[in-house]
Structure 1
Amino acid sequence: MRLHTTTASLLMILLAGCSVLPKAESPSIYRLPATPLAHARAASMLTGSLRIETPQAGRMLDSARIVVLPEGNVVSVYQGARWTDSGPALFRNRLLDAFRDDGRMTALSSDDASLQADFSLAGNLGAFQTEYRDGQPTVVIRYDAQLVRTNGLHILATHSFEIAEPVQGKAVPEVVAAFGRADDALARQVVEWVTAQRVQ
């Protein structure tokens, strides 16, 4: 009886070390790189308050996966890689930081806080991905923006922005660096467009 018990115990130990279940994925988590914008002249400061809304996006973009279109209409993701947040949230936070860096609008908030504001910047994130163009990986970000006066929800202006930034390589860290450059450039354009509307 003791022999059978010992044999059974040994078998259980051996089986425990030979699991047929797949190992859990341990992805690399990437922040969106950002370079601060140059501070604008204090004389051109605007008095209106602005709320930056998280843009709408399709299901594939509205996640922490790093999206890639390797060919045609095929949509995929980089395996073992994640953003720290969803694409739309990263994009909104970069815009918020860009306005803070610029300094012309000091009364800023996001839709996370739900604070009252004179104006809101909303829109749709139509692309936040890598696309292969003639075999070259290129980061593409497309944002259709709406500047809205919150009193009466009147649309003041709309504009479509698109940036295509070549990736200097094909590894994921090089892709992430290209996302940072593309988002910096687009954020700079959005800040200039909004401030040109003289929101005050």
Structure 2
Amino acid sequence: MTRSAMKAMVLLAVAGVSLSGCINVLPKTKPIQLYRFGYSPEVKKADKDEAAPVAPAGNGAAMPVQLGQIDFPHEAGGDRVLTTEGNEIAYAGGSRWAAPVSELFQDAVKEGFSRAATTVRLDRRGGSNTAYRLEMGVHHFESAYKRGKPTVSIALDARLVRLSDRIVVGQRYITADVGVRMALGISFKRWHCLSLVDAGEKPRPPPSAVPPPHKWGGPRVYLIGS
């Protein structure tokens, strides 16, 4: 073996030892725990007896409704898990949502309507025959321990807006404290599903009035669940 070949082998051996030393001294980091949530069909089955009666659309087809932007507070809409303890708010260390909360929530809403609402078809863009838009504004989405159990608290406003004159024809304030099932990450025990229906060709209110949904024959907002 030539001297140059021997030198090359020694250098490779030294490089290997140095690399292994670097690997051994690197700190061992704990992997981040990821969580997710979404629509649960089991809740729809459990709440079927509590749901309000739903009237079909006038022509028997699903009524197209545009899904507007779902607004989240800046501190709660990302992938960091926002927690509360008394008056203190902080992000949970070592935990993340699998995707930004705003994206997971929007996907859950779309899946919920797609699988549970028989008279409404949500459309992100909206077509020429779309007369209404569903808007949601989330006030808070936080994790906390309540009665010794991990819980996600959520509060939001849901509004049904008529596109022709921008009149709010239906509105509902929704709050929920949802228990966490650790085996499945975050899962809603009680999913609040808004079902928008067209009750037929009945007189509509004047543009200046915004009556409660149950007092007129236009689209109505039903809350399924408690």
What is the aligned-residue RMSD (CA, Å)?
A: 3.6
Distance 1:65 1:173 in 2: 19
Aligned residues: 184
Match of 2:55 among 44, 47, 52: 44
Aligned partner of 1:109: which letter? D
Query: What residue is the counterpart of 2:165 in the other structure?
Result: 152
* 1:159-198 equivalence runs, <5 A: 159-167=172-180, 172-173=182-183, 176-177=186-187, 180-182=188-190, 184=191, 186-187=192-193, 190-191=194-195, 194-195=196-197, 197=213, 198=218
* 1:1-200 equivalence runs, <5 A: 2=7, 5=11, 8-18=14-24, 20=26, 23=29, 25=31, 27-32=33-38, 34-35=40-41, 37=44, 44-46=55-57, 48-77=63-92, 79-83=94-98, 85-100=99-114, 101-105=116-120, 107-110=121-124, 114-116=125-127, 117-133=130-146, 135-167=148-180, 172-173=182-183, 176-177=186-187, 180-182=188-190, 184=191, 186-187=192-193, 190-191=194-195, 194-195=196-197, 197=213, 198-199=218-219
Compared CA separation, residues 128 and 22, structure 1 to 2 (3 A): same
CA contact under 8 A between 1:96 and 1:108: conserved in structure 2? Answer: yes
1:26-66 Cα deviation digits (max 9, x unpaired): 54353425126368999821254212224101123212333
CA contact under 8 A between 1:122 and 1:148: conserved in structure 2? Answer: yes
Distance 2:70 2:132 in 1: 15
Compared CA separation, residues 22 and 151, structure 1 to 2 (3 A): farther
Q: Identity over the aligned pairs, expressed in percent?
A: 11
Compared CA separation, residues 96 and 33, structure 1 to 2 (3 A): closer
Q: CA deviation at 1:122?
A: 0.7
Distance 1:94 1:147 in 2: 18
Choose between structure 1 and 2: higher helix proportion. Answer: 1
Larger Rg: 2
Distance 2:69 2:75 in 1: 16
Unaligned runs of 5+ in 1: none
Q: CA deviation at 1:21?
A: 6.3
Unaligned runs of 5+ in 2: 200-212, 221-226
After TM superposition, the score normalised by the length of structure 1 is 0.70
Compared CA separation, residues 29 and 163, structure 1 to 2 (3 A): closer
